[in-house]
Amino acid sequence: MSKLRVSSFAIIVFAIFGLQASSVRAVVTQPTPAGFLVTLDTRIAGSPDRVYRALVGQVGEWWNAEHTYSGDSRNLSIDARPGGCFCERLPNGGGVEHLRVIYVKPGEMLRMSGALGPLQASAVAGTMTWTLAAAGAATTVNLSYAVGGFRDGGFPAIAPAVDGVLLEQLLRLKRFVETGKPAG
């Protein structure tokens, strides 16, 4: 990997949430004409099993509703099995598949495939991996999202925004597990 770079959006998120830079590490987006990679790490006070249960079983409690189609994160769910869906219910029987589950190892890893948010309208493929590892009484969480394909206008403009949204979700998960409340 090339140099460690943190997007300006990520820095703003750090400032908003009043976090020390050492609490989350972001190796951000290496946008190329063909795609980008976001890698985020943090430590969460709680066992890997507790973090995993919150990640998959309580996504509607910690995911920011501003990053949903319905405006209500309680419409989100993750069916944590191969072929399962990270989905969102919409009014009148509608719905959105955000990502498809492709690998599950409870308490250790969740891998999903798909294009989040505005990336859905492009010809892209993405792989998101959540890795959890015990670190004493805490859990080290690594979140990576690799995206490649074609997007009108390329990836340099959208990669920092994706990084910022994912950073926000990781920080909300951390606060939810540690305090019971996703917002600071």
- Work out whether strand 138-150 and strand 123-135 pair parallel, antiparallel, or are unpaired: antiparallel
Determine the Cα–Cα distance for residues 172 and 17; give it in Å rounded to an integer: 10
Task: Copy the structure tokens of residue 21.
Answer: 């830079």
More confident residue, 184 or 84: 84
Task: Copy the structure tokens of residue 140.
Answer: 């080290």
pLDDT at residue 13 tops 70: no
Query: Per the confidence metrics, is the pTM higher than 0.75?
Result: yes
Of the pLDDT bands very low, low, confident and very high (cuts 50, 70, 90), residue 28 is low
**In the chain, where are the structural domains located?**
8-179
Task: Copy the structure tokens of residue 32.
Answer: 């190329």
pLDDT at residue 97 tops 50: yes
Which positions ≥6 away from 21 have C-beta within 8 Å?
14
Least confident stretch, 32-36, 57-61, 87-91, 97-101: 32-36
In this structure, whether the domain defined by 8-179 belongs to CATH 3.40.640.10 is answered with no
Phi, psi (5° rounding) for residue 174? -55, -50
Task: Copy the structure tokens of residue 138.
Answer: 């805490």
pLDDT of residue 87: 98
pLDDT of residue 23: 76
Q: What is the pLDDT of residues 138-159, one digit of tens each?
A: 999 999 999 999 999 899 889 9
pLDDT at residue 4 tops 70: no
More confident residue, 50 or 19: 50
Q: What is the pLDDT of residues 99-136, one digit of tens each?
A: 999 999 999 999 999 999 999 999 999 999 999 999 99
